[in-house]
A = this chain, B = another copy of it.
Amino acid sequence: MAKVNQQLIADKLNICRTTVSRCFSNHPKINPETRAKVLELAAQLGYRYTAQRAPRNPEKQTAREIGVLIGVRPDMTELPATSQYMLKGISERAAAQNLALDVRYIDPAELDEMLQSTSRTPKGLRAGNGTWKGAILIFPFTTETIVNLSRRVSTVSIAEDYSQGGIDCIDVDHHAGIYDMVSHLADLGHKRIGFLSWRYSVESPWMYRRFGAYVDSLYRLGIDFDPELALNVRKGEDLSVEQLADTVAQQIENGVTAWVSAADHQAYRLIADLQKKGISVPRDCSITGFDGIEPPLGMPRLTSIKVPFDEMGVSSVIRLLERMKNPAGHRRHNLVEGRIVIGETTQSL
């Protein structure tokens, strides 16, 4: 078999090897489609790109700039506080690596429009000196946007798992966190432990990841998994927030003593709803959350997993730089473990 190098890729695609080289070295003037083709073939052939080290003209080293895109829909009145923590980590690492940042709060729909344009660098995304060398995404965008953007520049997402988009993702370690929650409950003597989530208009991969981890944890701890205790996970099952509380209350009657909620805000709402029905947490049942947000006024602190957003920010920059070095490499999921916070919503049986 022929040696896998740029020449081979060029021959197979009937283009000049120079073009192939430029696809890897983040040259600004490469057709996104060509780039996509080259990177895909490279991945297939198992070509491993290693950048040549010393740059030809050391003084020409212009400051590299990366874009940080924070998706904010116009109807959102207040910005989620989490983005601040991520930005802190991002800017800390960017400074250390001598990277300039271009932070933009942007409506996902607007970004999508910009990227529809066939030209390589949409005006709106053009930075002062030139083009971005990479992009970090915070909060959800559409898969289409992701694909269009990642063909142009190396892209990394924080906290959103674009399973279809094929980009690197920095996320909290859902699996480890849920395992901590389930084994905390098991340690407290709970045997009938349910899982619940809300339904959102868009698919939420994190919910499935957490659910999968819940099942895994039960089996690992030797507790049987009862599909009846997984609420709002099955496709087509679409309980409203109120129905969810009803079902939970009913299952508590049936002997369920603990619930793993897919997210803190869902859990706080549930606790309030159960309280209205005369069910007290943690007296009548224990509840755990995930995310570690501050409790709403007057609510007890949830037993939860605190997500280290700043470390995730740091990791996103590290990963982005690696992605830029090797654009055709395998996709990554870099997971940061959250810390368990024992609150007032779980108690021993």
Binding site for B on A (CB under 8 A): 28, 32, 43, 48, 50, 53, 92, 96, 163, 173, 175-176, 179, 203, 205, 208-209, 211-217, 219-222, 224-225, 227, 230, 233-236, 308, 310-311, 315, 318, 322, 329-339
Contact = CB atoms under 8 A, between A and B. Distances in A.
Contact of A175 (B43, B48, B209): B209
A219 B225 contact: no
A333 B176 contact: yes
Number of copies: 2
B330 A332 contact: no
A236 B176 CA distance: 23
Given A176-B163, A211-B219, A215-B212, A311 B330 contact: yes
A333 B335 CA distance: 5
A173 B48 CA distance: 19
B337 A50 contact: no
Contacts of A225: 215, 227
Given A216-B211, A219-B208, A220-B235, A335 B337 contact: no
A337 B335 CA distance: 13
A330 B333 CA distance: 16
16 contacts: A53-B96, A173-B333, A175-B212, A176-B333, A203-B220, A211-B215, A212-B216, A215-B216, A215-B225, A219-B234, A222-B236, A330-B337, A331-B336, A331-B337, A333-B337, A335-B335
Given A28-B53, A212-B215, A215-B216, 18 more contacts: A48-B92, A48-B310, A50-B96, A163-B179, A173-B333, A176-B331, A176-B333, A208-B219, A209-B216, A211-B215, A219-B230, A219-B234, A219-B235, A221-B235, A222-B234, A330-B337, A332-B334, A333-B335
Contacts of A315: 332
Given A212-B175, A212-B212, A236-B222, A332 B332 contact: no
